[in-house]
């Protein structure tokens, strides 16, 4: 993994984690699904325009359209829709901790559904991740953590996990920015009717903070982090790229504490470190050994000849 890949990974983790804080700002002032539809629509327009300026095409292959639809529905409409609704009731740091377990869920379901082998290090990482989340959520439940909000966040992670499993290997396209834009459009279309049915007539508490948070979430997590993720996957592979998720619980709790003044107790610090260690252990266990990389490269070369 080269220095550029490390910088890309750090940038992705920081933008991804910061989204929870800006989302919390937005959903406390505006209807969440309506705001999300507007965010997706704006992100789609900007990303598609950028893609066309970069010479990318919207004439995608079947595999690329599959990625657009799966991520548009599962990641954008379901995961973010549920998450934005939940964050009316739960703090940004709690949502970030719950969402950060996605790599653990991917590893577990990969073993349970696809029969992927788990090394002892990965098993230890899964156990550590569960214990870390249990520590944080146990203490927060005692301080009034919303059960409905917790359930919505958990369902969102399940949707994101299945999207990740279903769209593995999608990082090699030359139309990455176009794919990002079109999946945003799919998310917007999927949420228009639910937003109208559930939130029609709800007021918006306009403020400079809301506008700034909305602009940031459109440009950074909405477009920047998604595009950076695809580029990182294309550069170092999905397994190595996912290693950077171990920073998400740490960044998420720290950013929420700094910008929103959310609680930052000892259980949060210890739990976030345990979760981060568990994620790192799982991802490190999934990285192939050098000789496995060589065999895989040789196999791919032979299959093309």
- 3-state secondary structure (DSSP) of residue 146: coil
Residue with structure tokens 């929870």? 20
Say yes or no to pLDDT of 304 above 50: no
288 DSSP 8-state letter: P
Return the exposure string of 61-89: e unless at least 16 CB atoms fall within 10 Å of the residue's CB, then b: eeebeebbbbbbbbbbbbbbbbbbbbbeb
Q: Give the list of residues 6+ apart from residue 2 with CB closer than 8 angstroms, or none.
A: none
Please count the helices (runs of H) and the strands (runs of E) in the chain.
Answer: 15, 0
Who wins on pLDDT, 262 or 190? Answer: 190
Domain ranges of the chain: 3-288
Q: Give the list of residues 6+ apart from residue 58 with CB closer than 8 angstroms, or none.
A: 48, 51, 175, 178, 182
As a whole number, mean pLDDT of residues 137-144 equals: 87
pLDDT on residue 297: 39
- 3-state secondary structure (DSSP) of residue 207: coil
Size of the chain in residues: 305
Query: Which pTM value belongs to this model?
Result: 0.82
Tens digits of residue pLDDT in 206-257: 899 999 999 999 888 888 887 888 788 778 776 677 778 778 888 988 999 9
Distance CA 215, CA 45 (A): 14
Distance CA 30, CA 35 (A): 7
């Amino acid at each position: 993994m080269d220095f550029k890949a490390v910088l890309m990974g750090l940038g992705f983790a920081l933008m991804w984690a910061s989204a929870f804080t800006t989302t919390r700002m937005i959903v406390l002032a505006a209807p969440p699904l309506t705001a999300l539809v507007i965010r997706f629509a704006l992100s789609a327009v900007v990303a598609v325009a950028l893609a066309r300026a970069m010479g990318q095409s919207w004439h995608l292959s079947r595999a690329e359209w599959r990625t657009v639809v799966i991520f548009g529905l599962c990641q954008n409409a379901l995961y973010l829709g549920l998450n934005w609704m939940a964050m009316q009731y739960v703090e940004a740091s709690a949502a970030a901790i719950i969402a950060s377990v996605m790599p653990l869920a991917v590893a577990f379901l990969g073993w349970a559904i696809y029969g992927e082998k788990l090394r002892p290090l990965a098993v230890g990482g899964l156990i550590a991740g569960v214990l870390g989340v249990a520590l944080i959520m146990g203490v927060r439940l005692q301080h009034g953590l919303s059960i409905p909000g917790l359930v919505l966040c958990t369902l969102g992670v399940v949707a994101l996990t299945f999207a990740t499993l279903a769209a593995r290997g999608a990082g090699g396209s030359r139309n990455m920015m176009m794919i990002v834009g079109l999946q945003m459009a799919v998310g917007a279309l999927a949420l228009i009717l639910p937003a109208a049915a559930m939130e029609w007539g709800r007021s918006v508490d306009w403020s400079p903070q809301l506008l700034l948070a909305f602009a940031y979430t459109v440009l950074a997590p909405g477009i920047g982090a998604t595009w950076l993720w695809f580029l990182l996957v294309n550069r170092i592979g999905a397994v190595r790229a996912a290693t950077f998720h171990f920073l998400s619980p740490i960044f998420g709790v720290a950013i929420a504490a700094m910008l929103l003044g959310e609680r930052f107790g000892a259980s949060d610090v210890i739990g976030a470190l345990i979760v981060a260690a568990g994620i790192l252990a799982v991802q490190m266990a999934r990285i192939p050994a050098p000789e496995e990389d060589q065999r895989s490269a040789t196999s791919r070369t032979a299959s093309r000849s």
